[in-house]
Homo-oligomer: A and B are copies of this chain.
């Protein structure tokens, strides 16, 4: 439901304008859209969190697509929710990276064997993420229970006083 990186369906010819989905953006726009800064985007590229478009020559402006925006959103989200270091994140985000790779290859290849392999990889990465997230969820739930219990006790005492 949230923007998690479905770069829409790309099906049409190669010359269709298609104003929105495959618009080319520059760093400032990406930063604005993701609530970050150009510096942050470059930093993420520097440490390997963002692809860094291998085609670009030194000095040229960086180009981004909606998929990149989605990825940055994911990064920020995971970073905040899980409180991970960017190092740990880049481990986790192999999933995203692989996923992008897969989307490309999946459409490029006809070999069902290869497709199967790619999908299995993707599944593995997602499973990793899920494990981590679910762990956090149960720990947080425990914390919530503890806090609720404490609140209950305090209110119980208040009632005793009131009576």
Binding site for B on A (CB under 8 A): 1-2, 4, 77-78, 80-84, 112, 115-116, 119-120, 122-123, 126-127, 129-130, 133-134, 136-137, 139-148, 150-151, 154-155, 157-158, 161-162
Partner of A143, one of B84, B133, B146, B151: B133
B136 touches A123 (CB 8 A): no
A140 touches B136 (CB 8 A): yes
- Which residues of B are found within 8 Å of A120, using beta-carbon distances? 158
Closest-CB distance, A127 to chain B (whole angstroms):
7
Closest-CB distance, A163 to chain B (whole angstroms):
11
A143 touches B77 (CB 8 A): yes
A126 touches B150 (CB 8 A): yes
* Closest B residue, CB atoms, query A116: B161
Partner of A83, one of B80, B122, B130, B133: B80
B151 touches A119 (CB 8 A): no
A119 touches B150 (CB 8 A): no
Partner of A130, one of B119, B129, B141, B144: B144
B112 touches A146 (CB 8 A): no
* Closest B residue, CB atoms, query A102: B154
Supposing A77-B143, A82-B83, A150-B4 touch, asked if A158 and B116 sit within 8 A by C-beta, the answer is yes
A150 to B1, CA, bound (A): 11
A161 to B148, CA, bound (A): 48
